[in-house]
């Protein structure tokens, strides 16, 4: 029997060849000038929104934009242009984490790990289907997959890029390592100007 996945969500994953040492210096330089903000972060430091693509992250920006555009076309939105709304920097030390949140007001979100190890705290996504946790029986699946999981964790790694729909609720586990976990997060939107949506 053929099983058709319907009403699907996704997390896209890729490894980028970027100068992470320069990006790390950039993140610490911004931290010296920016007191930061508290949104979902518990401890650590998160920069204020940056909505201008700084020359120091141009290679990363272009690599991420290329992949977001490719994903957008692959899932059927071939007409609208992709716009980066903003990005922000995250530096999380030992025992820091991020509470559950989504990225309202945007269409896609992305996170790039400038400096991270697998043991520094997974990012965990929640199944977006309402009441799925009531439907699924805990510990009843012999192997978890996209059909029976209430959440899905992905380990961080230097150079790893994740792209996902902004509606996906997610949190980041505690960094249990003495070293900082450094990442850059992005929000993207679709520009429908001049296009017939229907």
Largest pairwise CA distance in the chain: 59
35 in any annotated domain: yes
| Range of the structural domain that residue 39 is part of | 12-130+144-191
> Cα(48)–Cα(93) distance, rounded to whole angstroms?
18
Per mean pLDDT, which range of 4-13, 50-59, 119-128, 163-172 is the poorest? 50-59
135 in any annotated domain: no
Count of structural domains within the chain: 1
> Cα(185)–Cα(83) distance, rounded to whole angstroms?
14
Considering the chain, what is the average pLDDT of its residues? 91
Handedness of CA 85, 188, 41, 159 (dihedral sign): negative
**Residue 181 near residue 123, CB atoms below 8 Å:** no
167 in any annotated domain: yes
Residue 25: the pLDDT is 97
User: Which pLDDT tens digit goes with each residue over 82-113?
Assistant: 999 999 999 999 999 999 999 999 999 999 99
* The model's pTM: 0.92
Average pLDDT, stretch 156-185? 97
Average pLDDT, stretch 175-189? 96
> Cα(48)–Cα(37) distance, rounded to whole angstroms?
6
197 in any annotated domain: no
6 in any annotated domain: no
Residue 196: the pLDDT is 53
DSSP structural state of residue 120: G
| CATH code: domain of residue 28 | 2.60.120.620
In this predicted structure, the answer to whether residue 193 has a pLDDT above a threshold of 60 is yes
Tokens representing 197 are 């949506």
In 3-state terms, what secondary structure has residue 191? strand
Q: What is the DSSP string of 13-39?
A: EEE----HHHHHHHHHHHHHH---B-S
92 in any annotated domain: yes
Strands 123-126 and 108-115 turn out to be: unpaired
How are strands ordered across the β-sheet holding 97-101? 41-42, 97-101, 170-172, 123-126, 151-154
> Cα(121)–Cα(87) distance, rounded to whole angstroms?
21
196 in any annotated domain: no
4 in any annotated domain: no
């Amino acid at each position: 029997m053929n099983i058709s996945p319907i009403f699907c969500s996704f997390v896209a994953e890729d490894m980028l060849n970027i100068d992470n040492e320069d990006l790390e210096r950039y993140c610490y330089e911004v931290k010296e000038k920016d007191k930061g903000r508290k949104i979902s972060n518990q401890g650590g430091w998160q920069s204020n929104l940056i909505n201008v693509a700084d020359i120091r992250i141009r290679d990363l920006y272009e690599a991420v934009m290329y992949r977001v555009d490719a994903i957008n076309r692959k899932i059927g939105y071939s007409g609208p242009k992709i716009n980066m709304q903003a990005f922000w920097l995250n530096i999380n030390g030992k025992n820091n984490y991020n509470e559950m949140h989504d990225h309202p007001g945007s269409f896609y979100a992305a996170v790039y790990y400038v400096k991270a190890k697998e043991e520094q705290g997974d990012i965990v996504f929640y199944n977006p289907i309402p009441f799925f946790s009531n439907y699924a029986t805990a510990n009843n699946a012999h192997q978890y997959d996209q059909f029976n999981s209430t959440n899905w964790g992905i380990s961080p790694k230097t150079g790893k890029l994740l792209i996902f729909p902004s509606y996906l609720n997610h949190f980041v586990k505690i960094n249990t390592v003495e070293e900082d976990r450094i990442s850059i997060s992005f929000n993207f939107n679709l520009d429908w100007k001049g296009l017939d949506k229907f």
